[in-house]
Structure 1
Amino acid sequence: MIKKLPLIALVLILTTSCVSKKLYTDLENRYAALKKENRNLSDEKTSLSKSLATANSELATLRKNYEAAIAKRDQLQKDLDATTTNLDNLQKSYDALEQNSSSAIAENAKKNRELLAQLEAKEQALAAENARLEKLKKDMEARSQRIAELENIISSKDAAMSRLKDAISKALTNFEGKGLTVEQRDGKVYVSMENKLLFESGSWAVGKNGREAVKQLGSVLAVNPDIAVLIEGHTDNVPYTGSGQLSGNWDLSTKRATAIVEILRENAGINPENLTAAGRGEFAPVASNDTAEGKAKNRRIEVILTPKLDEISKLLND
C-alpha cells in the first residue's frame, strides 16, 4: 500500500502555495512515462518465463542425448580394446603356428583380416560418436548461454516492472481508498477500479472522479505505444432487472468496458489498435457474492496492461 504521508504533505503544499501549471504538467508527464515503461516490461516477463521453461526442457533433452552418446562411446571403446586384445592374441598364435602348416597360416591370416576389418569399423564408429558428442556439447553450451540471456532479461524486466508499478501507484494515490488498486502479477500490471469509483448502479456513464482516474491512466498509456491494453468489465451475480438498452449483466459489463475505452480514445497519443474492450459479466468474480462487500469488489473494471515481446521473440528465433 502506498504510503500517504508524502502525498498529504504534497497536498498541503499545493493548497497553501501557488504552483505553476507547467510544473504540474511536467510532473504528470513524468508519471505517464514511468507508467508506460512499467507496462512495457510487464507482459515481457510472462513470455520470458515461458521461453525459459522451453529452453530448460530443450537443455534437459540435450543433456540426456549427451549422456547417451558418452555411454555409447565408452562401449565402443571397450569393444575396440577387446578387439585389439583378440588381434594381439591371434597375432601371437599366428607367429607360433607359422612354422606348422600353410593351412593354419592361411586360417590365421583370414581371421586377422576379419579382425582388422572389425577394428577399422569400430574405429570409424568411435570417431563418428566422438564427433556427435562434440556437436551435442556445443549445442548444450549454446542452449545454456541462451538460458542465461533469458534469465538476465527476465530479471531486468522484473525490476523495471516493479519500478513502473510503484510509479503508477504513486500517480493514482488520490484515488486510494476509493476502490482503485494497482497490482503486478505474472509479468503484467492490473489496474482494478470498483464501480463505486466509476459508475452509478445500472449505468455505464463514467462519473467525474472515475473519468479523472481513467484520464490519468491514459496519460501513461499515451507514452507507452508498445503496451496492449485490455479493459474488462465485471458485475456481481445479481440479475439485471432494468429495461431499455441493456439485456443483462453481460451487456452491462461490456458497455462499461467500452465506456472506459472511449475515454482513453480521447487521448490522441493512444493507438486505438492497442485497446480491447471485453465484458465478463458475473463469471470472473474476485470475491464471494454472498456478502455486500464481496459483491462490491466484483463490480469492477480491470485494465490489464501487457507489453509486446518483440525482443524475446527475436532472441528465441536467432
Structure 2
Amino acid sequence: MLLIKFINMKKIGLIASLLAVLLTTSCGTKKIAELEEKQKQTQEKLDSATVKLNSCLEEKASLSATNNALKSQNDVLKSNNQQLINNMGDLTTLTKKGAENLEKSLESLREKDLTIRKLQDAVTRRDSVNLALVQSLKGVLGDLNDEDINISVEKGVVYVNISDKLLFSSGSARVTSKAKEVLGKVATVVKNKPDFEFMVEGHTDDDGVKAGASFKDNWDLSVLRATAVVRLLQDEFGVDPKRMTAAGRSQYVPVADNETKEGKAKNRRTRIVVLPKVDQFYSMIEEGMKDPSIN
C-alpha cells in the first residue's frame, strides 16, 4: 500500500512537473513571440532612422556644398566691391582731370570763337566796302553796254572787265578817245577810295601777232595795253601810281572759247582788279577786335 501510494505520488509529481514544464514552455513561447515582435518593431524603427539619417547626411552635404559656393560668391563680391571702391577713387581723380581739361578746351574754343567772330566782322566790313565800291562803279558806268563792261565781286575782290573794243583799236596798244571817257569815270571812283589798290591786267585772244607789228607777241601786247591804261590813269586823271600795278596775262586766262569770233572778242579785254590794301585789311581786323559789341 505504501508502495502504491509512493508510486501514485510520484506519478502525481511527474504529472505536475510535466504540467509545469508545459506551462513554462507555453509562457516562454509567448514571451519569445513578444520579443520577436518588439525586435521587429525596433528593427523597423532602426531602418527608418537609418533612412532619415542618410537623408540628413545627404542634405548636410548639399547644404555644405551650397555654403561653400556662397562663401566663394561672397569672396568674389567682396573682391569686386573693393575693386569698385578703387575704381571709384580712380574715376573721381579722372573726373577732376576731365573737368579741368574740359574747362581748358572750352576756354580755347571761346578764344577761337572770338577770333573767328573778329575775322568775320572784318570780312563783313570788307564786303560792305566792296559793295559800296561796286555801287559807285555801276553808278558812273551804268549807261554803258553790258557786253562792253562788266563789274563783279569774287572772293572779296572787285573786278571791272572792259572790252578791248572800248579801249583799243585792233592790234594796237593806243587808248582810244572813247576809252578815256570810260577810264575817267573809273578814276573818279577809285580816287575816292584811297584805301584800295588795283591792278590793271591786259588779256588777249590766241591769235598770233601780224607781221610787222611793233610788239613781239601777245605777252608784249597785253603788257603794253596794261601800262597804257595805268599811264593814262596817272597822267590824265591823277591816280596815285603807288596804288597801281600793270600786268600782262597774254592769252592764257581766257573767259570763253577761242574757236569762235564771239569767244575771241570776250577774251580780248582789260581787267581792273580792285582790292583792299593788305595793311588796311589788317586794320579792319584790329578795329573789329576793339569793337565793344564783340569784346
Relative to the length of structure 1, the TM-score reads: 0.58
Larger Rg belongs to: 2
Which residue does 2:272 correspond to in 1? 303
Which residue does 1:187 correspond to in 2? 156
1:207 aligned onto 2:176: yes
Structure 1 counterpart of 2:82, from 79, 86, 89: 86
CA deviation vs aligned residue, 1:265-310 (integer Å, no higher than 9, x gap): 1267533222111111111111111111111111110001111222
1:278 aligned onto 2:247: yes
Conservation of the 8 A alpha-carbon contact between 1:225 and 1:271: no
Give how far 1:255 is off.
0.2
CA deviation vs aligned residue, 1:70-104 (integer Å, no higher than 9, x gap): xxxxxxxxxxxxx9952897xxxxxxxxxxxxxxx
Give how far 1:180 is off.
1.5
Pair 217,209 (structure 1): closer, same or farther in 2 beyond 3 Å = same
Give how far 1:124 is off.
5.2
Conservation of the 8 A alpha-carbon contact between 2:136 and 2:189: no
Which 10-residue stretch deviates more, 261-270 or 214-223?
A: 261-270
Question: What letter is aligned with 1:184?
Answer: V
Which residue does 2:42 correspond to in 1? none
Which residue does 1:217 correspond to in 2? 186
Give how far 1:167 is off.
2.2
Conservation of the 8 A alpha-carbon contact between 1:202 and 1:242: no
SS in 2 for 1:281: coil
Conservation of the 8 A alpha-carbon contact between 1:178 and 1:196: no
Q: How far apart, in 1, do the equivalents of 2:152 and 2:83 lie? A: 75
Q: How far apart, in 2, do the equivalents of 1:202 and 1:242 lie? A: 11
SS in 2 for 1:232: strand
CA deviation vs aligned residue, 1:168-203 (integer Å, no higher than 9, x gap): 112012333561121122211111111110111111
Pair 177,139 (structure 1): closer, same or farther in 2 beyond 3 Å = closer
SS in 1 for 2:143: helix
- Count residues in correspondence: 209
Pair 314,163 (structure 1): closer, same or farther in 2 beyond 3 Å = closer
Conservation of the 8 A alpha-carbon contact between 1:287 and 1:298: yes
SS in 2 for 1:145: helix
Q: How far apart, in 1, do the equivalents of 2:163 and 2:103 lie? A: 60
Q: How far apart, in 2, do the equivalents of 1:122 and 1:316 lie? A: 44
Runs of 4+ off more than 4 Å: 121-126, 315-318
1:265 aligned onto 2:234: yes
Q: How far apart, in 2, do the equivalents of 1:295 and 1:151 lie? A: 40
Q: How far apart, in 2, do the equivalents of 1:136 and 1:146 lie? A: 15
Q: How far apart, in 1, do the equivalents of 2:84 and 2:205 lie? A: 88
Q: How far apart, in 1, do the equivalents of 2:235 and 2:121 lie? A: 38
Which 10-residue stretch deviates more, 155-164 or 237-246?
A: 155-164
CA deviation vs aligned residue, 1:203-261 (integer Å, no higher than 9, x gap): 10001110121122112222222212111101111100132530011110110001011
Q: How far apart, in 2, do the equivalents of 1:234 and 1:206 lie? A: 15
Which residue does 1:163 correspond to in 2? 132
RMSD of aligned alpha carbons? 3.1
Question: What letter is aligned with 2:82?
Answer: N
Conservation of the 8 A alpha-carbon contact between 1:215 and 1:263: no
Which residue does 2:117 correspond to in 1? 148
1:240 aligned onto 2:220: no
Higher RCO (CA-CA < 8 Å; seq separation 6+): 1
**1:1-318 alignment to 2 at 5 Å?**
86=82, 119=89, 126-177=95-146, 179-266=148-235, 270-308=239-277, 309-311=281-283, 314=286
Q: What percent identity do the matched residue pairs reach? A: 30
